[in-house]
Structure 1
Amino acid sequence: MALLVCLSLVAGLLTAFYYWTKKKFSYWSNKGVIGPTPLPIVGNFGTVMLQQESAQLYVKKVHLKYKGEKLVGIYRGSQPAILVRDPELIKHVLIKDFNIFQDRGISTSSSRLSDNLFGADGEIWKILRQKLTPVFTSRKLKDMIPLILKCSNSFTKYVDNLIEKNVEHEIRSLTSKYTLEVIGSCAFGLDLNTVSDEENEFSLIPKKIFKPSIYVRTLVILDMIIPGIKKKFNTSSEIQDFFVNLVRSVIHERKGKPSNRKDFMDLMIELREQGKASRRKEDGVSEIEIDDLMIAAQSLVFYTAGFETSAASMSFLIHEMALNPEIQERIHDEVCRVYEKYNGELTYESTKEMPYLDMVFDETLRKYSVAGILFRKSLADYTFPGTDVTIPKGMPVMISANGLNADPEYFPNPNEFNPENFSPENKKNIPQCAYMPFGEGPRNCIGLRFAKVQSMLGTAAFFKHFKVEPSSKTKRVLEYDPKGIVLVTAHGIWVKISKR
């Protein structure tokens, strides 16, 4: 009898689970939206949860599979989400109907570090965007050029010494030394001395951010299955402590007052002196407290975005130049002409006189989208224009940047590295929102000009002095780390560097 009761209970639970699953995973089919077939519990992200492929490469695969579809229905665990493929609809999400899609909806942490310009939503994001925009004016960028050039000179000297050893070089680790030095100098006024063989806490902390522990990765997986569970756990105390201590150290060094550097930390100290930052709106004034934790949160996103994405893009560019020597020589010739025109010293204006390097940089960002998914959350029920598809308030929205960049509808032979995709005559034919390396609309990357300037100056200095070619470890087709938060190669990016 007891066995019969147990069997009946199991059968009942399995039946209930079956109908629950059927109801949960019939959401998109009931709306007539096609998409990949989900599996129980994991939805469409089983391979991501098992760390067999990264989320951005999986979403790219889905984007490319459903050619001709404007919208694709997917399931993140049991939660429905929608993938927007069509550039016109993407334009509505990111620009025209921005008021409905202004939030990313990606914060799953209880830590105040999530109150940063990238992850924050609502009024916190609006205030931060308004207050931090002055850091990236053309005038501020011009003031930073001498600091960036000092870092690029240190970088080329370091590489020059490495070449004497006549060994193969992992280029991602080299470019990260340069970009981390730039961020330390331009954002925090620090000489980090990362362009050396020595490792310090500043060069080690990115590994903890971009290569999270098994514990943190497990919580991320559980959060896909049970949305919101990650907020119940604090997963960033070590990272938070690092940035809070960094902020307090800089503030102490500047005696609590802005210096004459006019850098990121100066602006944050000015806001800290005010105590609160506010924004006027129709129904009153919104305020947020600017304390050390709030400054640490902004420092985190400036540090990681300015360091990691630029280092990755530079390394992918150098990899392609090793495989495309004719393009590399054309860059070298252009850079040498500009150096000669400006008496051997680059300037802010000189970056605008390297159009071919700019094309190569854009093509690198197309072929290797470091941050491959744009996330948004609907703040109201919304019907996509020209369709009968309505999504409810709170629905996650995804856009695959690397899917668009690999779509032959917009880029012929997308697997080929071809800077001519961005020649003046071809660039104007790319639909708006089909190429968005820095996002699009009011919530695009605030530091896009800084990122491009630091990358172009570093790249120009590198190819002025050095030549790269394939080494015995060079892979023509790169393999990617399935655990990577951003686009990271599984085995590094190897080239052989020689002096010019």
Structure 2
Amino acid sequence: MLWLYVILVLYIFYTFTKQKYNYWIKFGVKGPSPLPFVGNFGKVMLQKESVNQCVKDIYKQYSEEKIVGIYRGFQPILLIRDPELIKQILIKDFNFFQDRGISTSRSRISENLFSAEGEKWRILRQKLTPVFTSKRLKDMIPLIENCIENYLNYVEHLVENNIEHELRLLASKYTLQAIVSCAFGLNIDTYSDTQNEFTIMAKRVFSPTTIVKFITILDMIIPGIRRIIKSSNDISDFFLNLVRKVIEERKNKPMLRKDFMDLMIELKEQGNISGKNQYTGTAEIQIDDNLIAAQALVFYAAGFETSSATMSFMLYELALNQNIQDKVYQEIHKITEKYNNKLTYESIKELTYLEMVFEETLRKHSVAGILFRKCKTNYSLPGTKVILQKGTPVIISVSGLQQDPNYFPNPEIFNPDNFLPENKNKRPQYTHMPFGDGPRNCIGMRFAIVQSMMGIAAFLRKFKVIPSTKTRTKLRYDPKAITLTSLDGIWLKIVKRS
């Protein structure tokens, strides 16, 4: 009798699995065969491959398709490969795909700009955009210059004492100090004080515990389960205490800095803030310490980690391509001469070749690599027979697009000429999106560019990078890392220019 129950259970499971994994077949959408429970993300769940690499491999495998059907657990996901369809999703029909659909663990500070949905996101985006205007960025330049001076002094100490240093960690000391100074008005020593609370918290955010990793994997099998699990209070407490400390210090004082915290304090004093939408009318949200702390966490994490990664990848490529490094140095020397040998906000805009190198670094080493969107309502995908059901996730492989030989010839070769105006004009739009695109692109994009460009330009005026005995000619990426990370670190020799 027991064997009949076993057969019945197996039959029910087979029928259920077949029904779930027939979703894309009924629309005639091609895709890799899924495995029970894990779908197409088995290696990701076993932490043998990053999500970025997994999706990029599928992108490459179906080079003739505009769309590809895949599964995360039992959940169907549509991978968009075609630039015109990408434009449709990110721009033309943005109102259908406003939300990212990324589930986060419950905490007091989970309502941040990155993961917020619906009208809360619209209002937050509208109110926080003024932090990153050109005028605000110009006001931050003296703060960034001070951080650069500390950075260069530390690097000079390393060179004089022949101390090797991993480049990503080195760059993170600069970018962490810069974001803490520009966003929160605090001065921290990231160089001699390696155990400062901001550095420790950075490790907590980007090196999740085993429990957090398990919950992340479980969320792939049972989408949304993360939302009902309460996260650790350590990170929440840190940012709540930070916000309250800054608010108390600035209490009853004029808002002189006009930085992120000044803006948030100003919004908090308004009580509730509202926004108007042509589709849903007027909505309101309350600005309290929890909401401010949630935004602080996002700016903190995104402001230093992605920039430090990009800076280290750029220096790595310049070390392997000395002719490109020499050309960058000559441009920096020529432009700064026009500005009394100073790096200014205006001079950075004239470093066109350095900008091309920066763009090429972002192309070849896409730190995030994937854009996520969620369909808000049933949606008929233009030019196809596909009808996306409400809640269906849509993903775009930024790494796949940016390393597609159809758009970038010889994509494994580091070639800044990819971003000459004449070459950019030959490519379809939406094939290079390191900061995303559309209304939900990275709000801190301009700050990240200015911070990185100034830091790199100042570094290269004074130092040169060359390969060391520990430099790998081909990088291996960490499959367990949240963002693109070299498994072996990035080791180069830094030489002081004469």
Which TM-score tier does this pair reach, normalised by the shorter chain? Answer: over 0.9
Q: 1:73 aligns with which of 69, 78, 85?
A: 69
Pairing of 1:417-496 with structure 2 (within 5 A): 417-496=414-493
Pairing of 1:59-458 with structure 2 (within 5 A): 59-196=55-192, 198-255=194-251, 259-282=255-278, 284-458=281-455
- After the TM superposition, which of the residue ranges 379-388 and 280-289 deviates more from structure 2? 280-289
How far off its partner does 1:207 sit? Answer: 1.2
Q: 2: CA distance between counterparts of 1:8 and 1:183?
A: 64
Q: In structure 2, the residue corresponding to 1:473 is in which secondary structure?
A: coil
How far off its partner does 1:165 sit? Answer: 2.1
Q: 1: CA distance between counterparts of 2:313 and 2:147?
A: 20
* Counterpart residue type for residue 102 of structure 1: Q
How far off its partner does 1:195 sit? Answer: 3.2
* Counterpart residue type for residue 408 of structure 1: P
Q: Structure 1 runs of 4+ off > 3 angstroms?
A: 281-284
* Counterpart residue type for residue 412 of structure 1: P
Label 1:236 to 1:350 Cα distance change in 2 as closer, same or farther (>3 A).
Answer: farther
Q: Is 1:158–1:196's contact at 8 Å kept on the other side of the alignment? A: no
Label 1:14 to 1:294 Cα distance change in 2 as closer, same or farther (>3 A).
Answer: same
Q: 1: CA distance between counterparts of 2:454 and 2:41?
A: 39
Q: Is 2:40–2:71's contact at 8 Å kept on the other side of the alignment? A: yes
How far off its partner does 1:457 sit? Answer: 0.1
How far off its partner does 1:238 sit? Answer: 1.0
* Residues 1:24 and 2:43 are matched in the alignment: no
Extract unaligned runs of 5+ from structure 2. none
Q: Is 1:78–1:225's contact at 8 Å kept on the other side of the alignment? A: yes
Q: 2: CA distance between counterparts of 1:64 and 1:475?
A: 25
- After the TM superposition, which of the residue ranges 206-215 and 227-236 deviates more from structure 2? 227-236
Q: Give CA deviations for 1:306-361 in whole Å, capped at 9, x if unaligned.
A: 11110000000001011011111111111111222111221111111100000000
**Percentage identity across paired residues of the two chains:** 61
Q: Give CA deviations for 1:223-263 in whole Å, capped at 9, x if unaligned.
A: 11111211221124111111101101111111265530000
Q: Is 1:176–1:308's contact at 8 Å kept on the other side of the alignment? A: yes
Q: 2: CA distance between counterparts of 1:309 and 1:201?
A: 19
How far off its partner does 1:113 sit? Answer: 2.4
- After the TM superposition, which of the residue ranges 280-289 and 16-25 deviates more from structure 2? 280-289
How far off its partner does 1:146 sit? Answer: 0.9
* Counterpart residue type for residue 6 of structure 1: L
* Counterpart residue type for residue 493 of structure 2: K
TM-score by length of 2: 0.98
Q: In structure 1, the residue corresponding to 2:39 is in which secondary structure?
A: coil
* Counterpart residue type for residue 40 of structure 1: P
TM-score by length of 1: 0.97
Q: In structure 2, the residue corresponding to 1:199 is in which secondary structure?
A: coil
Label 1:415 to 1:258 Cα distance change in 2 as closer, same or farther (>3 A).
Answer: farther
* Counterpart residue type for residue 406 of structure 1: Q
- After the TM superposition, which of the residue ranges 378-387 and 318-327 deviates more from structure 2? 378-387
Q: Is 1:258–1:270's contact at 8 Å kept on the other side of the alignment? A: no
Q: 2: CA distance between counterparts of 1:281 and 1:70?
A: 32
Q: Is 2:158–2:164's contact at 8 Å kept on the other side of the alignment? A: no
Give me the CA root mean square deviation.
Answer: 1.1
Q: 2: CA distance between counterparts of 1:437 and 1:284?
A: 32
How far off its partner does 1:284 sit? Answer: 4.2
Aligned length: 496
- After the TM superposition, which of the residue ranges 305-314 and 100-109 deviates more from structure 2? 100-109
Q: In structure 2, the residue corresponding to 1:433 is in which secondary structure?
A: coil
Q: Is 2:78–2:393's contact at 8 Å kept on the other side of the alignment? A: yes
Q: Is 1:169–1:497's contact at 8 Å kept on the other side of the alignment? A: no
Q: 2: CA distance between counterparts of 1:182 and 1:102?
A: 31
Q: 2: CA distance between counterparts of 1:284 and 1:358?
A: 41
Aligned equivalent of 1:37: 33
Q: 1: CA distance between counterparts of 2:192 and 2:392?
A: 47
* Counterpart residue type for residue 223 of structure 1: D
* Counterpart residue type for residue 495 of structure 1: L
Q: 1: CA distance between counterparts of 2:36 and 2:312?
A: 39
Q: In structure 2, the residue corresponding to 1:196 is in which secondary structure?
A: coil
